[in-house]
C-alpha cells in the first residue's frame, strides 16, 4: 500500500493563509491528488508543531513512500497558535530520512523562505540536498505525476502546473477528509477556500512587491465546484470557512477579467456562490471573506454595494474585507503600480461602513474594512509616513470604523520588481517606521478599537488558546480575530463568552460572562469595572454568596455592587 506523509510547515501568502487555526488548500489538494491516483493509499497529515513536540514521528516518515512538505511565508504575519517552519528546522528534521521521495511545495519552493518583514528571503537552495523534488509548480499536479510514474522522481517536471481550475475539481473534493487529522479539528479549525488565482492587474504588471501577478490573469473556479468542495468539508465535520484564497472577492467572475485591469464586478455570481455555500453547509458556524481591492469598490460602488449586501446576508458577523492599501503617498502609488489612490480607498471604506457597520450576532460589526500598509516600497520617503498618518487620522476624525490596521515591512520576493530594490528603504527608514507604528497604535488603533467594540460589548465564543503569566489569550474564529486577554488562568481549548472591560493597542481585556463570583479567580474579579484590588480581596474573603443581595451587602458601596451586577452570575 502506498504510504504518504504530509508535513504542513504552514503557508502565509498575500492570498492564502494556512497557519493554525487555518488549514490552507495545499494539504487538501495534495491528499486529494494521492487518493485520486490510488484510492487505497494511506495518507497521514501532521503539522510542524506536532513534529516539534514529538520527534518520534520521524520514524513514521522514514517508513513512508512519499513525504510532502508544505512551507513558505511570503507575507509577514503575527501568529498565536503555530509558527511556520524554517529551512534550518527542515534540514535538521529531514536530513537523515532517506527512504521516501521527499517533495517540497508551496511558496518556499517557488520563492524561498520568507521569515519576517523587512528581511530578505532565504533561497530554496539551502534545502536542495534534503528534497528529491522542489515543486516550483503545483504540488498536487507534481505528486499526481509522481504516483503515475511509479515514484520515479528523476523524470518528473517540478514546474508542472494545473492547466485550468478544473484540474483540481476532484482533488479538492477527495482530499477534504484529510482535515480530520488536523490537531485543531473540528472545533478550532478554519478551512481557507480558493475561488480563483491570478490577479486582474497582472496585465499591467501588478503591484511591485506581489507574487500573485506571476500566476497571470484570474482563472475562476466554478461556483458549483467550490460548493462541492465545501459540502465535502462540511460532511467531514468542518464548520468554519473563509473564502480567502483570491486577491479580491469582489472581482470573482468579473466578466472582463483578463482584458481590464479593474473589471466590472459580477454581483449575480457572488450571490450564487454565497447562496450555494449556505446550501452546501447549512449549519456552518463561521463564513468569512478576506482580500478586497478598494480600487474596484471605488470604481463600481453600485455593484459592490450589492455584493457587500449579499455577503452580509449569507456570512457570519465579525467579517473583514482586507484592503491592500500599502501606501497613500502618490509617489509610492505610481512607482509601485499600487491599486488605489487615497481618495479611492476612502470611498471604499465609506461604502463598507454604510453597509456593514451594524453590530452582528457575535458582538462584532457585520463587515468592516481592514487596511494593510506596506513599508519599504520604491519611492518611499519620510513624507510617506506623514501622508499615511494624515490619512488614517482623517478616517478616525470622520467617525469611520476600521476593524484593523496592519503595518508591515515588505519581504522582497524573487521574481517581483521589489526584489531588485531589496531592503534599501527599510534600512533607511527603520526609525521612522518604528515611530510611525507607535504613533498609529497609540493615537488611532486603540481609540478605534474602543469605537468598534465599546466597553461592555459581549463577544461570543472566544477560544482560549494560550497563557501569558496569569492571562489567558483567546480569539474568536474568523478573519483577523481580535486578541482577547482574560485575566486569570482558564482552561484552554474551550469557548467563552466575554464582556469587554479594557483596551490595549491591539488587544482587548475581557472577563467571562456571566461571571461566577463564587469561583472566579482573583485576577478576573479585579478586572471587573468598579472592583479593583481591594474589593476583589473583600469578595474572596466573603464568598460563597448565595444571592445577589448577599453579594451587594458584602460590598462597601451598594451603587458599585449594582454596576458589577451587570457582569456576574450567582449559582
Beta carbon nearer to ligand SF4, 137 or 206:
206
Strand, coil or helix: 462: strand
Integer Cα distance of 58 and 256 in angstroms: 49
Beta carbon nearer to ligand SF4, 327 or 476:
327
Q: Can you read off the three cell numbers belonging to residue 244?
A: 480567502
CB of 206 to ligand SF4, least distance (A): 3
Which member of 20, 117, 247, 318 binds ligand SF4 (CB under 6 A)?
Answer: 247
CB of 417 to ligand SF4, least distance (A): 11
CB of 204 to ligand SF4, least distance (A): 9
Is residue 212 involved in binding ligand SF4 (CB under 6 A)?
yes
Which member of 339, 403, 404, 417 binds ligand SF4 (CB under 6 A)?
Answer: 339
Burial (0-12, 13-18, 19+ Cβ within 10 Å), 457: middle
Integer Cα distance of 75 and 77 in angstroms: 6
Contacts to ligand SF4 from residues 291-320, by CB under 6 A: 293
* Stretch near ligand SF4 under the rule CB under 6 A, chosen from 199-207, 276-284, 492-500, 510-518: 199-207
Is residue 263 involved in binding ligand SF4 (CB under 6 A)?
no
Contacts to ligand SF4 from residues 479-508, by CB under 6 A: none
Integer Cα distance of 571 and 569 in angstroms: 6
Contact 212, 202 (CB under 8 A): yes
Is residue 213 involved in binding ligand SF4 (CB under 6 A)?
yes
* Stretch near ligand SF4 under the rule CB under 6 A, chosen from 75-83, 205-213, 217-225, 306-314: 205-213
* Residue length of the chain: 571
Is residue 324 involved in binding ligand SF4 (CB under 6 A)?
yes
Contact 388, 436 (CB under 8 A): yes
CB of 16 to ligand SF4, least distance (A): 11
CA of 238: how far to CAs of 149, 190, 461, in Å? 34, 8, 17
Beta carbon nearer to ligand SF4, 258 or 360:
258
Q: Can you read off the three cell numbers belonging to residue 444?
A: 488611532
Is residue 515 involved in binding ligand SF4 (CB under 6 A)?
no
Beta carbon nearer to ligand SF4, 27 or 376:
376
Integer Cα distance of 494 and 174 in angstroms: 30
CA-based nearest residue to 388, from 405, 366, 403 = 405
Beta carbon nearer to ligand SF4, 108 or 377:
377
Beta carbon nearer to ligand SF4, 413 or 508:
413
CB of 293 to ligand SF4, least distance (A): 6
Q: Which residues contact 428 (CB under 8 A, 6 or more apart)?
A: none
Contact 402, 371 (CB under 8 A): yes
| Beta partners for residue 471, in sequence order | 468, 487
Beta carbon nearer to ligand SF4, 21 or 198:
198
Integer Cα distance of 462 and 433 in angstroms: 32
Instruction: Output DSSP code: residue 244.
Output: E
| Beta partners for residue 197, in sequence order | 219
Contacts to ligand SF4 from residues 347-406, by CB under 6 A: none
Strand, coil or helix: 22: strand
Is residue 322 involved in binding ligand SF4 (CB under 6 A)?
no
Number of residues that bind ligand SF4 (CB under 6 A): 12
CB of 264 to ligand SF4, least distance (A): 16
**Residue labelled with grid coordinates 528534521:** 93
Beta carbon nearer to ligand SF4, 102 or 197:
197
Cis before 544? omega within 30: yes
Is residue 13 involved in binding ligand SF4 (CB under 6 A)?
no
CB of 249 to ligand SF4, least distance (A): 12
CA of 504: how far to CAs of 143, 247, 547, in Å? 46, 31, 34
3-state DSSP: the chain helix, strand, coil percent, rounded to 5?
Answer: 40, 20, 35
CB of 41 to ligand SF4, least distance (A): 35
Write down the H helix ranges in 373-515. Answer: 382-397, 418-421, 424-428, 430-440, 446-452
Beta carbon nearer to ligand SF4, 13 or 228:
13
Strand, coil or helix: 274: helix
CB of 472 to ligand SF4, least distance (A): 36
Beta carbon nearer to ligand SF4, 198 or 481:
198
* Stretch near ligand SF4 under the rule CB under 6 A, chosen from 210-218, 261-269, 401-409, 478-486: 210-218
* Stretch near ligand SF4 under the rule CB under 6 A, chosen from 28-36, 57-65, 208-216, 444-452: 208-216
Beta carbon nearer to ligand SF4, 62 or 214:
214
Strand, coil or helix: 487: strand
Which member of 201, 315, 429, 475 binds ligand SF4 (CB under 6 A)?
Answer: 201
CB of 411 to ligand SF4, least distance (A): 13
CB of 25 to ligand SF4, least distance (A): 17
Strand, coil or helix: 495: strand
Integer Cα distance of 48 and 54 in angstroms: 10
Beta carbon nearer to ligand SF4, 103 or 210:
210
CB of 541 to ligand SF4, least distance (A): 58
CB of 297 to ligand SF4, least distance (A): 13
Is residue 206 involved in binding ligand SF4 (CB under 6 A)?
yes
Is residue 14 involved in binding ligand SF4 (CB under 6 A)?
yes
Q: What are the two backbone dihedrals, phi and then psi, of residue 511, each rounded to the nearest 5 degrees?
A: -120, 145
Q: What are the two backbone dihedrals, phi and then psi, of residue 189, each rounded to the nearest 5 degrees?
A: -125, 130
CA-based nearest residue to 114, from 476, 552, 330, 413 = 413
CB of 44 to ligand SF4, least distance (A): 34
Give the binding site for ligand SF4 (CB under 6 A): 14, 199, 201, 206-207, 210, 212-213, 247, 293, 324, 339
Amino acid at each position: 500500500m502506498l504510504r504518504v506523509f504530509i508535513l504542513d510547515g504552514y503557508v502565509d501568502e498575500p492570498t492564502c493563509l494556512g497557519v493554525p487555526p487555518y488549514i490552507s488548500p495545499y494539504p487538501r489538494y495534495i491528499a486529494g491528488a494521492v487518493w485520486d491516483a490510488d484510492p487505497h493509499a494511506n495518507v497521514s497529515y501532521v503539522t510542524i508543531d506536532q513534529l516539534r513536540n514529538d520527534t518520534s514521528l520521524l520514524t513514521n516518515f522514514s517508513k513512508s513512500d512519499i513525504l510532502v512538505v508544505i512551507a513558505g511565508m511570503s507575507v509577514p504575519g503575527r501568529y498565536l497558535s503555530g509558527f511556520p517552519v524554517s529551512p534550518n528546522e527542515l534540514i535538521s528534521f529531514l536530513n537523515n530520512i532517506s527512504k521516501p521521495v521527499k517533495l517540497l511545495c508551496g511558496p518556499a519552493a517557488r520563492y524561498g523562505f520568507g521569515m519576517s518583514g523587512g528581511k530578505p528571503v532565504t533561497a530554496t537552495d539551502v534545502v536542495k540536498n534534503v528534497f528529491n523534488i522542489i515543486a516550483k509548480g503545483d504540488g498536487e499536479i507534481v505528486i499526481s505525476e509522481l504516483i503515475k510514474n511509479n515514484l520515479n522522481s528523476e523524470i518528473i517536471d517540478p514546474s508542472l502546473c494545473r492547466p485550468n481550475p478544473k484540474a483540481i475539481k476532484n482533488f479538492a473534493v477527495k482530499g477534504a477528509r484529510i482535515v480530520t487529522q488536523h490537531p485543531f479539528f473540528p472545533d478550532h479549525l478554519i478551512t481557507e477556500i480558493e475561488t480563483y488565482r491570478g490577479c486582474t492587474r497582472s496585465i499591467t504588471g501588478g503591484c511591485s512587491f506581489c507574487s500573485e501577478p506571476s500566476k497571470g490573469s484570474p482563472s475562476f473556479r466554478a461556483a458549483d465546484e467550490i460548493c462541492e468542495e465545501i459540502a465535502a468539508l462540511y460532511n467531514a465535520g468542518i464548520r468554519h470557512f473563509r473564502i480567502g484564497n483570491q486577491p479580491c472577492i469582489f472581482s470573482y467572475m468579473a466578466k472582463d477579467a483578463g482584458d481590464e485591469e479593474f473589471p466590472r464586478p459580477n454581483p449575480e455570481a457572488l450571490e450564487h456562490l454565497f447562496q450555494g455555500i449556505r446550501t452546501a453547509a447549512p449549519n456552518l458556524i463561521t463564513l468569512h471573506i478576506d482580500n478586497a481591492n478598494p480600487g474596484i469598490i471605488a470604481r463600481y460602488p453600485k455593484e459592490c454595494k450589492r455584493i457587500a449586501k449579499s455577503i452580509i446576508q449569507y456570512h457570519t458577523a465579525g467579517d473583514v474585507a482586507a484592503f491592500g492599501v500599502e501606501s497613500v503617498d502618490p509617489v509610492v502609488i505610481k512607482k509601485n503600480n499600487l491599486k488605489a489612490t487615497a481618495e479611492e480607498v476612502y470611498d471604499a471604506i465609506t461604502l463598507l461602513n454604510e453597509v456593514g457597520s451594524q453590530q452582528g450576532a457575535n458582538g462584532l460589526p457585520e463587515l468592516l474594512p481592514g487596511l494593510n500598509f506596506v513599508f519599504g516600497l520604491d519611492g518611499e520617503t519620510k513624507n510617506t509616513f506623514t501622508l499615511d498618518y494624515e490619512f488614517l487620522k482623517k478616517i478616525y476624525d470622520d467617525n469611520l470604523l476600521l476593524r484593523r490596521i496592519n503595518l508591515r515591512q515588505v519581504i522582497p520576493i524573487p521574481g517581483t520588481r521589489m526584489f531588485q530594490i531589496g531592503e534599501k528603504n527599510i534600512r533607511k527608514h527603520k526609525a521612522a517606521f518604528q515611530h510611525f507604528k507607535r504613533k498609529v497604535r497609540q493615537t488611532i488603533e486603540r481609540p478605534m478599537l474602543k469605537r468598534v467594540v465599546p466597553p461592555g460589548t459581549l463577544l461570543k465564543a472566544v477560544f482560549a488558546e494560550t497563557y501569558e503569566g496569569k492571562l489567558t489569550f483567546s480569539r474568536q474564529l474568523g478573519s483577523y480575530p481580535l486578541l482577547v486577554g482574560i485575566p486569570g488562568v482558564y482552561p484552554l481549548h474551550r469557548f467563552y463568552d466575554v464582556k469587554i472591560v479594557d483596551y490595549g493597542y491591539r488587544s482587548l481585556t475581557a472577563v467571562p460572562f456571566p461571571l461566577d463570583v463564587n469561583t472566579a479567580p482573583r485576577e478576573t474579579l479585579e478586572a471587573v469595572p468598579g472592583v479593583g484590588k481591594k474589593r476583589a480581596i473583600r469578595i474572596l474573603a466573603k464568598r460563597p454568596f448565595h444571592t445577589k443581595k448577599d453579594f451587594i451587602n458584602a460590598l462597601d458601596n451598594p451603587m458599585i455592587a449594582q454596576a458589577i451586577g451587570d457582569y456576574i452570575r450567582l449559582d
